[in-house]
Structure 1
């Protein structure tokens, strides 16, 4: 009978990568603890940061969004009903995404479209799309200048703002 010895490979893990991975875990835990314990300030809430800096509202407009039968989205002034724009299928992707996220929050809470959304331009030039019905808001300016411009065009006196 022939007995075969199987060669066993030794699996080695080098110390340096293990030490580096341990260091990353330790730093992550340290940073998390420092924020939790208040040594490092938490991420700023835009509304609180504006209030602390004394930044006020420059202008605002209420907006209503309607889904049309052909798939387009129609935008109207919430107070006057003035037609502000229409985005067909494949157009206005950023507006569709932001409004749908806010409408989703309304559906979760069983709320309808009775209350118009509010688009606010602040004195520092930032834009916020807010839903007074749910208290949720989206900082439009955080999504870059092109997406900001889409909403900027919905504000009155846009020529004076540029």
Structure 2
């Protein structure tokens, strides 16, 4: 006994047309930005400069790996400990993730862990972390309030600019 075999389309024609339209729209929008016909969305550092936001707190930090897998955070100016992120601790996951990306870029440029990072709170309420060695900047507000609060806690006792 043989079973009937169907070669009918599984996906309906309207769904294929909608998907094709979405892809075409995405390509057209990307091209208009790339060709300069439409402005890009604001870059956080550019938006801060346009708004004339000034630093309200700033701290230079060093991050070092502990022998037990922890991350030791110290004030780069004084050498005093600021915090320790214990290996496997859930609350330090975001900080570890950001540092992993920055450390990867340092590794690609042959830069070690000695140059400090600068953590800054701006007058517009935003928070940024700048790698002073590579000049890469991470705007921390885009990751949600809980995640940026993890870095904001590192500003406690930070000198005012």
| Shared fold per TM-score greater than 0.5 | yes
- Kept in 1, the 8 Å contact 2:115–2:133? The answer is yes
Shift of 1:89: 1.2
Structure 2 residue 35 is matched with structure 1 residue 69: no
Cα distance in 1 for residues equivalent to 2:53 and 2:112: 31
Cα distance, 1:10 vs. partner? 5.7
Give the structure 2 partner of residue 40 of structure 1.
Answer: 38
CA distance in 1, matches of 2:85, 2:23: 47
> Please, what is the CA RMSD of the aligned residues?
2.2
Q: Structure 2 length as normaliser, TM-score?
A: 0.83
Choose between structure 1 and 2 for higher RCO, CA contacts under 8 A separated by at least 6 residues.
2
2:8 to 8, 11, 30: 11
How many residues were matched structurally?
153
- For structure 2, the residue ranges without an aligned partner over 5 or more in a row are none
Give the superposition deviation at 1:157.
4.5
Q: Is 1:137 the equivalent of 2:137? A: yes
Match of 2:117 in 1: 117
Q: Which blocks of at least 5 consecutive residues in structure 1 are unaligned?
A: 1-6
Query: What displacement does 1:33 show?
Result: 2.2
Q: Secondary structure, in 3 states, of the residue corresponding to 2:154? A: coil
1:146 correspondence with 2:146:
yes
Q: Which moved more, 1:136-145 or 1:19-28?
A: 19-28
Conserved? CA contact 1:61–1:156, under 8 Å = no
Quote how far apart the aligned CAs of 1:40 are.
2.3
Larger Rg: 1
Distance 2:106 2:21 in 1: 44
Report the equivalent of 2:128. Answer: 128
Q: Which moved more, 1:19-28 or 1:69-78?
A: 19-28
The 10-residue stretch of structure 1 (30-39 or 72-81) with the greater mean CA deviation from structure 2: 30-39
